[in-house]
Structure 1
């Protein structure tokens, strides 16, 4: 959240996480079009990620049980790179 203004909230527990994307943190306007661009770009880089939330602006991270630290590092790197391009 500190690095990317598009992240309005991060919530979850354990291996179930939600990253809410917003156009403006104060008004919490859902970032619907940005969400589509981010998920498509992440898919192109080899990361499949779910979409959720009432407005469809929450990245739903639900990795399999065989998820390793290297997999987590790759996911974070791809997400960081993608959001940096926004």
Structure 2
């Protein structure tokens, strides 16, 4: 299950941060995995930012016109991109 690489989801309003880790207990940053997923999402047409002290946090900042269909596309793309983990 890809959810094992998600260490934390945080944010306020439309701005979200999804932190990726290799070990959920130790919160070990998943630097390499984040870089791979970042490129996979870009190839799928999803542009997210990358941040955090270790570069392992996806920054999702959609525009105000973000619709439910857009949200469904984002979730499906993330699910597909993370399916190899």
Aligned-residue offset at 1:84: 1.1
Deviations 1:32-78 (A, max 9, x none): 00001001000001101100111110010000111111011000100
1:1-80 maps to which residues of 2 (within 5 A)?
4-80=3-79
Which consecutive unaligned segments of at least 5 residues does structure 1 have?
Answer: none
- Give the whole-Å Cα distance in 2 for the aligned partners of 1:3 and 1:43: 18
Which consecutive unaligned segments of at least 5 residues does structure 2 have?
Answer: none
* Aligned residue pair count: 85
RMSD: 1.2
The answer on whether the counterparts of 1:4 and 1:84 sit within 8 Å (CA) in structure 2 is: no
